[in-house]
């Protein structure tokens, strides 16, 4: 998608944070990816961003993304795409606006790049 420079920059910054760097895909998540396939995981990421992150107002913002249970949830915390507050701070997309299609694609691409890197390191 042409985001290689963004990946390097954001992953370098996030890797230096104790909270963000502790997130890793475990055996269950790798098995889930193997079972569903990476395209299905990407579809889940698109759905989660569209429904949980993209609206302008989110009643439970900051608490809408579980910390476990799905590879995308783990990736969202690792990449600071878990809530609008983190997205504003780390990705410079302001809160209080509906995310555009391109903004949603950007967030999904960051999530999926993190998942692919984790997957490659564990297979």
Express each pLDDT in 83-115 by its tens digit. 999 999 999 999 999 999 999 999 999 999 999
pTM given for the model: 0.88
Give the pair of three-digit tokens for residue 95.
Answer: 């809160």
Q: What confidence score (pLDDT) does residue 8 get?
A: 64
* Tokens representing residue 120 in the block: 């490659």
With DSSP H G I counted as helix, E B as strand and the rest as coil, what are the percentages for the chain, rounded to 5? 65, 0, 35
| Position 2 confidence tier, pLDDT thresholds 50, 70, 90 | very low
- Domain containing residue 17: 4-55+64-122
Using DSSP's 3-state secondary structure scheme, residue 51 falls into helix
pLDDT in tens, 31-77: 999 999 999 999 999 999 999 999 999 988 888 899 899 999 999 99
**How many domains, in total, are found in the chain?**
1
pLDDT at 4 over 80: no
């Amino acid at each position: 998608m042409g985001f290689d420079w963004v990946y390097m920059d954001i992953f370098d910054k996030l890797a230096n944070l104790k909270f963000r760097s502790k997130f890793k895909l475990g055996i269950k998540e790798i098995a889930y990816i193997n079972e569903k396939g990476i395209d299905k995981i990407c579809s889940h990421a698109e759905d989660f961003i569209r429904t949980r992150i993209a609206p302008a107002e989110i009643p439970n913002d900051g608490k809408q993304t579980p910390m476990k249970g799905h590879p995308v949830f783990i990736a969202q915390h690792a990449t600071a795409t878990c809530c609008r507050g983190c997205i504003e701070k780390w990705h410079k997309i302001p809160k209080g606006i509906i995310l555009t299609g391109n903004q949603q694609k950007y967030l999904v691409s960051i999530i999926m790049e993190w998942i692919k890197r984790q997957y490659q390191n564990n297979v």
